[in-house]
Structure 1
Amino acid sequence: MEKELSDNKTYLRIIYLVSILIPIVVALLILFPAKFGAGDWVKLLPAVHAIINSLTVLTLLAALIAIKKGNVEVHRAFMFASLYLGVGFLISYILYHSNVPSVKFGDINHDGIVDEIEKAAVGTNRIVYLVILASHILLSILVVPFVLFAFYYALTGQIAKHRRMVKYTFPVWMYVSITGVIVYFLIKPYYF
């Protein structure tokens, strides 16, 4: 099975395709929300996203502890839990952004525009938020192919490549998960 996976170029093409399509679909939905009429309940999803990101932090830490103790099976279970949480997050995120316009930090009166008075009221907090958000978004886009390749290498028994990949992928995935929670709590006052 491992040999079949490692020799199959189809899996590599899928990784590249998914890595390209995810940011494109998300960007289109944020720029042009489709309004599929899911109802007002979707406005609860940002809190769910923060919970998913928090759980991802915990599963990633548990996976790290397990592998440091040499327990490959427990490590694998927690890594798959992290992956499933990521997929769940992505589905929920797409559902949310296909129904609700993006909320702007500092939009105190909820009119969709952050005017000069609102900018002055939130001060440098807006800059801090935007820097954290920008790093979160950029790294969330960049981490996807690395996570998928790390899983691919692990599942195909290419452990040396897997280790090299996760040396950088793990901290970035952790950063993205942690900043996802931070971004939620920073923007929460501006949700409807």
Structure 2
Amino acid sequence: MKTILRNSEKVAVPVIIGLSVAVPVIVLVLMLLPERYNLFNANALTFPLFHATLNFATAILLIVGYFFMRIQKYNLHRNTMIAAFCLSVIFLISYVLSKISHAPVPYGGTGFMRYTYFFILITHIVLSAIIVPLVLFTMYRGLSGQYKKHAKVARWTFPIWLYVAVTGVLVFLFMLPYY
């Protein structure tokens, strides 16, 4: 069994590292596109509303998954966390499509709200990049039966992932008047 795990790690770890670098780079490149192509003929609010809904649902699933883990319902925990992961993948694909379709909308608030918004936005962006390898390693460790390693990394992954999901909704609410 250990040989199989070692062999799978030879593939999984480089793939996780590659994705962890590629995802933020792709998003950054798309943010800087000089021209947009509205692929689905969607208005400016469609994607952000969908993203906020996905983030909200992800946050709920993360909390429910944590609850299942605490009461030792590990199959329910696994399934709930896989569902949260799937929503995050859907979010990421949709986010990439939205950056191709629409230019970023500037925040128009002032004063204290502006500082609050940018604090939330900046921490959300930084932690969004950090969460990619954490989620991938956590999922890999859990699904490959490496439960001690899974628990170690999940202690970091859960609160960061939850923060990113919740602040994703908050960023949407801050930006809602400007779409």
Fold agreement, TM-score > 0.5: yes
Whichever of the two has the greater Rg, that structure is 1
Shift of 1:34: 4.8
Task: Please report the TM-score for the alignment, with normalisation by the length of structure 1.
Answer: 0.87
Runs ≥4 residues deviating over 4 A: none
Matches of residues 59-138 of structure 1 in structure 2 within 5 Å?
59-106=61-108, 122-138=110-126
Match of 2:51 in 1: 49
Change (3 A) 1:140 1:30: same
Match of 1:7 in 2: 7
3-state SS of paired residue (1:134): helix
Deviations 1:88-147 (A, max 9, x none): 0001100001110001101xxxxxxxxxxxx7xx22211111110000000010011011
The residue type paired with residue 20 of structure 2 is: S
Structure 1 gap segments, 5+ residues each: 107-118
Separation in 1, partners of 2:54, 2:43: 15
Matched residues, number = 177
Separation in 1, partners of 2:64, 2:81: 9
Separation in 2, partners of 1:58, 1:185: 17
Change (3 A) 1:190 1:142: same
Separation in 2, partners of 1:62, 1:182: 20
Q: Is the 8 A contact 1:19 1:145 kept in 2?
A: yes
The sequence identity of aligned pairs, in percent, is 36
Matches of residues 101-180 of structure 1 in structure 2 within 5 Å?
101-106=103-108, 122-180=110-168
Separation in 1, partners of 2:64, 2:6: 27
Change (3 A) 1:88 1:149: same
Structure 2 gap segments, 5+ residues each: none
Say what the alpha-carbon RMSD is for the aligned residues.
1.6
The residue type paired with residue 24 of structure 1 is: V
